[in-house]
């Protein structure tokens, strides 16, 4: 039995306002968002706020090799809060720069994958027929294989490099967006107003991007938050396995891999702290994504 | 049902052919196949001989035919490093990976489903929220780093378990397995837990969501109105309904576990085929890479096919409509 | 002798984010053995929640916050879950509104029937199966052996409701609570189910609470009617009298809005306005904003006042006993 609805008119908030209002009702999600903004700011500002440039060899002192957290440089007195690696590099600075590369790779690949996925998905839904079934076959085929396998094989064939990692992430991820966009666009496509827009002889492109696309945004945003966390983790994994970014541009994953060899001898900080930075970033995004999924899901709206 | 099975089988074969084309294209288009398939340290005469044997001097469609023909006969090339057929080397490593994946799957299902049901039945309780919070963490921890933490805690700090390797094995059904010896089991435990944790989080979340959905259904209320005990409602009425989506995911995850094992095997130096793949990538042993890929594709496609069959056996609505259709 | 069921001042409230919804607010009625009570009201009036409250099946955020439900002398509210579980399905059975949703889609009919038998009686599987078969025959499902091995989706809606009724009858209960059991069915099937259930209850002496929004359905079936509005009973009495001479303006409005054959072409009257939100109920008489007879007096809360030994009404300005509505 349903409780009857109110007979007094309710003030209707704009959707954006409602989403923000509901989002901030969950303190955990707000913490996640704040953390993520903080992480992003650190990544952007790394060259200006990092204690040293970890890749300027002139600033490194081999005497500082593998210092534990809190120890300081013998000469300058500079304190290494998170310790140093085997080359005497300040881990705090290395993490800030690593974060920068990790987020850069993830966000560029996210942007490209969303663009490609959206165009393909909307076109498949709008034109239907053979194009649609072909696209969906390819998407299904690709998604039936684990992302890490596809990325690993691509990079095994292509070799290392930031651009190659980005390419691999785009290839791995576009299918998720294509499927998401297509499934919401196809629901919208069947509605009468699209036929009406066609009768007005609006161009296909206009109908697709002005009418179909806005309706695909909520699920797209949810998938994007999940996928960016996945992309960051995948890039780190690939770099850890030695097929990702090159040593000259180390991301968090590569920093962790560098410290792996020293882990068993108790020099834990080289691996541990980049790992914590990585986890905080991913957890923050997942917390935001979890809340967004609840807020943007029309089925849960009462 | 038969019609359905035949149709699914056809789709699976199509998927394998598609992947074979892609692998072929990857090997033959990206770079010179002579470089890819022939040991760079080979002599000129060897290069010529292999070029002829693989038909690299023939037209492309003929080469593809030879590639498929050889693949069907189990010939996926010869390892540069070991000088033996690549497939043979991979198959030697298969039991270790399968053992790891299966044990991890059992762990993640055996722990994940009960925890997910518990959290789904009590979504607002402290225990339910704790389980969900834990699953977000398990979901977010990058697998390789999580493995390093496990090593740091249980091997380096506490010294309870070995940090890597496979330990003593014993023959079981014609395969060498670790779980029958104490030493093997202690080596198996950490990698299996590491591989299981991510999937466990996934299964917890899925089971919880499905449990909540099923609990709202009228038939659960009707079962209560019939006076059934809570245990029977959960174990029969709820469990049987959530098993349908959960089994689908579990099946698909077994395939991805074999791929995910690459990371775990690398971290724990577990001598499975994932570790072999990474070593081969580093050593540019391309025939082994190709063989790994083809074998994994075959395994994943077969698993997907099996999942579909189990799925249709579990859901009477599909089973019967497909039988008629 | 005790009545079979005596509900006194039942309160079932839903604690939602927007406030407390008093879905059932002070409902009292009695039911004798073998009697049929029609519980009538619009959606949101609290009639279904009343039914679920008796069996203790109110889902969170709702819960019974007060009152007494005496079943054969024992208080179900105070008894709690263990006591209730042994009554559910055994002495009090329930039939739900939507037969498409009440049977578990992945379990065979025999499983769902046998488990009901064995939940309350320690009998063998074969014996339980025999009972299930008997119950199916009773509700006119044939061939029962073949049907027992079927899954719910192989049945039509009417057949599924018959199965649900067969499950309800398995233990020959003293009371069946039927929550709009025919609303989701085709009209012809509705009539069949209705008359079958009536016959089955009459022959076995089972009391019945028939929850419905449809006065026409219940008028031919119930011994007594209780009309609910906004969580309260606003009029109660023998069916024939309530239908012929409704005293409460709301009941009268309900009866006037049912189309009747002999007044072909006449305008149907309707009750103006909408059922109020349970979160924002008016002060005083809850029907006042929609009532043609309301005045200042109605700003106070009326109580359910007995008019005769059989009838009571919750209204300051009830219709006169002489004002008979036109009969079909």
Structural domain count, chain A: 1
Would A26 be classed as within a structural domain? no
Nearest to C222 by CA among C209, C235, C233, C204: C209
Kindly report the three-state secondary structure assignment for every residue of chain B.
CHHHHHHHHHHHHHHHHHHHHHHHHHHHHCCCHHHHHCCCCCCHHHHHHHHHHHCCCCCHHHHHHHHHHHHHCCCCCECCCCCCEHHHHHHHHHHHHHHHHHHHHHHHHHHHHHHHHHHHHCCCCHHHHHHHHHHHHHHHCCHHHHHHHHHHHHHHHCCCCCCCCCCCCEEECCEEECCCCHHHHHHHHHHHHHHHHHHHHHHHHHHHHHHHHHHCCHHHHHHHHCCCCHHHHHHHHHHHHHHHHHHHHHHHHHHHHHHHHHHHHHHHCCCCHHHHHHHHHHHCCHHHHHHHHHHHHHHHHHHHHHHHHHHHHHCHHHHHHHHHC
pLDDT value at position A166? Answer: 92
Residues in chain B closer than 8 A to A146 (CB atoms): 255-256, 259-260, 300
Q: Give the best residue of B123, B226, B316 to mutate against chain C (max C CB count within 10 A).
A: B226
As for the ipTM of the complex, it is 0.83
Would C108 be classed as within a structural domain? no
Q: Give the best residue of B128, B215, B219 to mutate against chain C (max C CB count within 10 A).
A: B219
Count the neighbouring beta carbons within 10 Å of the beta carbon of residue A122: 25
Q: Which of B217, B237, B314 sits opposite C101 (nearest CB)?
A: B217
Query: What is the distance between the alpha carbons of residues B97 and B1, in angstroms, rounded to a whole number?
Result: 33
Q: Which of B226, B314, B320 sits opposite C116 (nearest CB)?
A: B226
Range of the domain at C63: 1-32+40-83+175-183+215-258+270-321
Residues in chain B closer than 8 A to C55 (CB atoms): 225
pLDDT value at position C327? Answer: 46
Query: Does the pLDDT value for residue A145 go beyond 60?
Result: yes
Judge contact between C9 and C50, C-beta under 8 A: no
Q: Which of A1, A4, A6 sits opposite C49 (nearest CB)?
A: A1
Residues of A numbered 279-298 whose beta carbons fall under 8 angstroms of chain B's beta carbons: which are they?
Answer: 279, 282-283, 286-287, 290
> Does any CB of chain B come closer than 8 Å to the CB of residue A156?
yes
Would A2 be classed as within a structural domain? no
Residues in chain C closer than 8 A to B217 (CB atoms): 101
Chain B positions with Cβ closer than 8 Å to C? 217-219, 221-229, 232, 236-237, 240-241, 244, 314-317, 320
Name the token pair of C184: 């989701």
Query: What is the distance between the alpha carbons of residues C17 and B323, in angstroms, rounded to a whole number?
Result: 48
Residues of A numbered 19-78 whose beta carbons fall under 8 angstroms of chain B's beta carbons: which are they?
Answer: none
Catalogue the long-range contacts made by A123-128 (C-beta closer than 8 Å, 24 or more residues apart).
Answer: A123/A208, A124/A178, A124/A182, A125/A181, A125/A182, A125/A183, A125/A185, A125/A186, A125/A188, A125/A189, A125/A212, A126/A185, A126/A189, A126/A204, A126/A207, A126/A208, A126/A212, A128/A186, A128/A189
Please list the residues that pair with C30 across neighbouring strands: C6
DSSP 8-state assignment for residue A61: -
Residue A301 — pLDDT band, cuts 50, 70, 90? Answer: very low
Concatenated DSSP letters for C85-150? HHHBTTTEEEE-S-HHHHS-TTS-HHHHHHHHHHHHS---HHHHHHHHHHHHHHTT-SSHHHHHTS
CA B149 to chain centre: 23
Domain at B94-271, CATH from 3.40.50.970, 1.20.1070.10, 3.60.20.10, 1.10.3720.10 = 1.10.3720.10
Element (H, E) at A215: helix A213-241
Judge contact between B1 and B323, C-beta under 8 A: yes
Q: How close A8 comes to chain C (CA, Å)?
A: 9
Would C54 be classed as within a structural domain? yes
Judge contact between C112 and C72, C-beta under 8 A: no
pLDDT value at position A169? Answer: 92
Any idea how long chain A is? 302
Per-residue pLDDT of chain C (328 residues; tens, 9 = 90+): 678 888 888 889 888 777 788 888 888 888 888 888 989 888 878 888 898 888 888 887 888 888 888 888 888 888 778 788 888 888 888 888 888 888 888 888 888 888 888 888 888 888 888 888 888 888 888 788 888 888 888 888 888 888 888 888 888 888 999 888 887 777 777 888 888 888 888 888 888 899 988 888 888 888 898 999 888 888 888 988 888 888 888 888 888 777 665 555 566 667 777 777 778 787 888 887 788 787 888 888 888 888 887 888 888 888 776 555 554 4
pLDDT value at position B63? Answer: 74
Are the beta carbons of B278 and A241 separated by less than 8 Å? yes
Q: How close C98 comes to chain A (CA, Å)?
A: 12
Nearest to A231 by CA among A158, A275, A168, A157: A168
Query: What is the distance between the alpha carbons of residues C236 and A194, in angstroms, rounded to a whole number?
Result: 54
Region A223-247: mean pLDDT is 87
pLDDT value at position B219? Answer: 86
Catalogue the long-range contacts made by B63-70 (C-beta closer than 8 Å, 24 or more residues apart).
Answer: B63/B28, B63/B33, B64/B21, B64/B24, B67/B20, B67/B24, B68/B20
Domain ranges of chain B: 1-85+285-325, 94-271
Query: What is the distance between the alpha carbons of residues A106 and A108, in angstroms, rounded to a whole number?
Result: 6
Query: What is the distance between the alpha carbons of residues A59 and A79, in angstroms, rounded to a whole number?
Result: 14
Q: Beta strands B170-172 and B175-177: pairing type?
A: antiparallel
Range of the domain at A188: 35-300
Element (H, E) at A261: helix A252-263
Residues of C numbered 239-278 whose beta carbons fall under 8 angstroms of chain A's beta carbons: which are they?
Answer: 273-278
Which residues contact residue C98 at a Cβ distance below 8 angstroms, ignoring those fewer than 6 apart?
B218, C184
Query: Does the pLDDT value for residue A300 go beyond 50?
Result: no
**Residues of chain A above pLDDT 90, percent:** 11
- The CATH number that applies at residue C56 is 3.40.50.300
Q: For residue range B130-178, list pLDDT tens digits in order.
A: 898 888 888 888 888 888 888 888 887 887 888 777 777 777 776 777 7
> For chain B, which residues score pLDDT lower than 70?
1, 27-40, 53-56, 174, 180, 315-325
pLDDT value at position C293? Answer: 80
SS3 content of chain A, % helix, strand, coil (to 5): 75, 0, 25
Are the beta carbons of C85 and B316 separated by less than 8 Å? no
Residue A2 — pLDDT band, cuts 50, 70, 90? Answer: very low
Nearest to A265 by CA among B252, B119, B151, B130: B151
Query: What is the distance between the alpha carbons of residues C174 and C4, in angstroms, rounded to a whole number?
Result: 8
Q: Give the best residue of C44, C273, C287 to mutate against chain A (max A CB count within 10 A).
A: C44
Would A262 be classed as within a structural domain? yes
Are the beta carbons of A275 and B145 separated by less than 8 Å? yes
Which residues contact residue C81 at a Cβ distance below 8 angstroms, ignoring those fewer than 6 apart?
C56
Would C64 be classed as within a structural domain? yes
Name the token pair of B59: 């037209």
Interface partners of chain B (CB pairs < 8 Å, 3 or more) are A, C
Q: Which residue of C has its CA nearest to B239?
A: C106
Residues in chain C closer than 8 A to A2 (CB atoms): 43-44
Q: Which of C14, C47, C274 sits opposite A3 (nearest CB)?
A: C14
Q: How close C154 comes to chain B (CA, Å)?
A: 9
Q: How close C224 comes to chain B (CA, Å)?
A: 25
> Does any CB of chain B come closer than 8 Å to the CB of residue A152?
yes
Q: How close A282 comes to chain B (CA, Å)?
A: 6
Q: Which residue of C has its CA nearest to B313?
A: C106
Nearest to A177 by CA among A239, A230, A234: A230
SS3 C263: helix
Please list the residues that pair with B172 across neighbouring strands: B175
> Does any CB of chain A come closer than 8 Å to the CB of residue B163?
yes
Query: What is the distance between the alpha carbons of residues A262 and A276, in angstroms, rounded to a whole number?
Result: 17
Are the beta carbons of A3 and C44 separated by less than 8 Å? yes
* Residue pairs spanning B and C at CB distance below 8 A: 77
- The CATH number that applies at residue A254 is 1.10.3720.10
Instruction: Report the mean per-residue pLDDT for chain A.
Output: 80
Which residues contact residue A256 at a Cβ distance below 8 angstroms, ignoring those fewer than 6 apart?
A236, A240, A271, A274, A275, A278, B144, B145, B148
Would A5 be classed as within a structural domain? no
Residue A1 — pLDDT band, cuts 50, 70, 90? Answer: very low
Q: Which of C89, C101, C106 sits opposite B226 (nearest CB)?
A: C89
Are the beta carbons of C89 and B227 separated by less than 8 Å? yes
Q: For residue range A64-117, list pLDDT tens digits in order.
A: 676 777 777 666 667 777 777 777 777 888 888 889 889 999 999 999 999 999
Structural domain count, chain C: 1
Are the beta carbons of B141 and A263 separated by less than 8 Å? no
Q: How close A297 comes to chain C (CA, Å)?
A: 19
Sign of dihedral through CA atoms A77, A78, A80, A81? positive
């Amino acid at each position: 039995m349903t409780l009857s609805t109110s007979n007094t008119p309710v003030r209707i908030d704009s959707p954006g306002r409602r989403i923000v209002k509901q989002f901030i009702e969950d303190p955990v999600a707000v913490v996640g968002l704040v953390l993520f903004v903080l992480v992003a700011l650190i990544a952007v500002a790394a060259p200006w706020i990092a204690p040293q440039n970890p890749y300027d060899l002139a600033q490194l002192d081999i005497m500082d090799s593998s210092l534990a957290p809190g120890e300081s440089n013998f000469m300058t007195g500079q304190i290494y809060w998170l310790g140093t690696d085997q080359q005497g590099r300040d881990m705090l600075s290395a993490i800030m720069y690593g974060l920068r590369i990790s987020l850069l790779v993830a966000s560029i690949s996210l942007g490209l994958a969303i663009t490609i996925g959206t165009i393909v998905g909307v076109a498949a839904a709008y034109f239907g027929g053979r194009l649609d079934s072909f696209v969906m076959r390819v998407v299904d085929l690709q998604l039936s294989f684990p992302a890490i396998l596809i990325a690993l094989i691509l990079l095994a064939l292509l070799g290392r490099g930031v651009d190659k990692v980005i390419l691999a992430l785009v290839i791995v991820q576009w299918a998720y967006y294509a499927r998401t966009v297509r499934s919401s666009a196809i629901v919208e496509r069947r509605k009468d107003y699209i036929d009406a827009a066609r009768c007005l002889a609006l161009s296909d492109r206009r109908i697709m991007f002005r009418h179909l696309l806005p309706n695909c945004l909520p699920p797209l945003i949810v998938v994007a938050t999940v996928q960016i966390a996945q992309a960051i983790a995948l890039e780190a994994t690939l770099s850890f396995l030695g097929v990702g970014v090159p040593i000259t541009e180390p991301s968090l994953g590569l920093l962790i891999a560098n410290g792996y060899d020293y882990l068993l001898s108790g020099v834990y900080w080289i691996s541990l702290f980049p790992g914590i930075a990585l986890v905080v970033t991913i957890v923050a995004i997942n917390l935001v994504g979890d809340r967004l999924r609840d807020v943007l899901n029309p089925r849960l709206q009462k | 049902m038969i019609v359905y099975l035949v149709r699914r089988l056809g789709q699976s074969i199509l998927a394998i052919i598609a992947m074979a084309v892609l692998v072929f294209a990857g090997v033959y288009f990206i770079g010179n196949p002579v470089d890819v398939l022939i040991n760079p340290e080979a002599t000129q005469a060897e290069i010529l001989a292999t070029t002829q044997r693989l038909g690299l001097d023939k037209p492309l469609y003929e080469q593809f035919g030879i590639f498929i023909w050889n693949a069907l006969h189990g010939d996926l090339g010869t390892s540069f490093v070991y000088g033996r057929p690549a497939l043979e080397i991979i198959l030697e490593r298969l039991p270790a990976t399968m053992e790891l994946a299966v044990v991890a799957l059992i762990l993640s299902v055996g722990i994940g489903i009960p925890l997910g049901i518990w959290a789904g039945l009590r979504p607002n309780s402290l225990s339910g929220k704790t389980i969900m919070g834990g699953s977000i963490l398990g979901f977010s921890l990058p697998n390789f780093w999580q493995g390093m933490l496990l090593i740091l805690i249980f091997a380096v700090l506490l010294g309870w378990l070995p940090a890597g390797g496979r330990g003593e094995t014993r023959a079981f059904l014609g395969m060498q397995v670790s779980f029958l010896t104490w030493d093997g089991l202690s080596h198996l435990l950490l990698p299996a837990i590491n591989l299981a944790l991510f999937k466990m989080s996934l299964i917890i979340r899925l089971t919880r969501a499905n449990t909540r959905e099923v609990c709202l259904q009228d038939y659960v209320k009707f079962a209560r109105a019939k006076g059934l005990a809570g245990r029977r409602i959960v174990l029969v009425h709820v469990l049987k309904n959530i098993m349908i989506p959960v089994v689908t995911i579990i099946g698909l995850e077994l395939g991805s576990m074999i791929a995910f094992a690459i990371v775990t095997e690398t971290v724990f130096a577990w001598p499975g085929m994932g570790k072999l793949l990474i070593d081969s990538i580093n050593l540019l042993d391309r025939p082994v890479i190709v063989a790994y890929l083809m074998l994994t594709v075959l395994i994943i496609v077969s698993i997907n096919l099996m999942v579909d069959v189990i799925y249709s056996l579990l859901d009477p609505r599909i089973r019967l409509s497909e039988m008629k259709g | 002798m005790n009545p079979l069921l005596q509900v006194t001042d039942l309160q079932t409230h839903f604690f939602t984010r927007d406030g407390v919804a008093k879905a059932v607010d002070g409902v009292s009625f009695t039911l004798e053995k073998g009697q049929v009570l029609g519980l009538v009201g619009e959606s949101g009036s609290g009639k279904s929640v009343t039914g679920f409250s008796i069996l203790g099946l109110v889902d969170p955020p709702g819960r019974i916050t007060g009152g007494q439900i005496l079943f054969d002398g024992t208080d179900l509210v105070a008894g709690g879950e263990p006591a209730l579980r042994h009554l559910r399905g055994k002495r009090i059975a329930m039939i739900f509104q939507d037969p498409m949703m009440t049977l578990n889609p992945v379990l065979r009919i025999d499983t769902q029937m046998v488990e009901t038998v064995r939940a309350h009686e320690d009998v063998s599987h074969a014996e339980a199966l025999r009972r299930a078969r008997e119950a199916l025959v009773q509700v006119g499902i044939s061939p029962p052996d073949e049907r027992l091995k079927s899954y719910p989706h192989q049945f039509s809606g009417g057949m599924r409701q018959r199965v649900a009724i067969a499950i309800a009858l398995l233990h020959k209960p003293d009371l069946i609570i039927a929550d709009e059991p025919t609303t989701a069915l085709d009209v012809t099937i509705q009539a069949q189910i209705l008359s079958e259930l009536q016959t089955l209850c009459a022959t076995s002496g089972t009391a019945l609470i028939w929850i419905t929004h449809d006065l026409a359905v219940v008028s031919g079936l119930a011994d007594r009617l209780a009309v609910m509005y906004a969580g309260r009973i606003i009029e109660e009495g023998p069916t024939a009298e309530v239908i012929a001479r409704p005293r409460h303006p709301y009941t009268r409005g309900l009866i006037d809005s049912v189309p009747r054959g002999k007044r072909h072409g006449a305008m149907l009257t309707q009750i103006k306005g909408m059922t109020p939100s349970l979160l924002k109920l008016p002060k005083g008489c809850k029907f006042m904003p929609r009532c043609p007879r309301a005045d200042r007096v109605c700003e106070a809360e009326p109580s359910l006042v007995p008019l005769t030994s059989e009838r009571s009404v919750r209204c300051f300005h009830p219709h006169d006993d002489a004002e008979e509505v036109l009969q079909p």
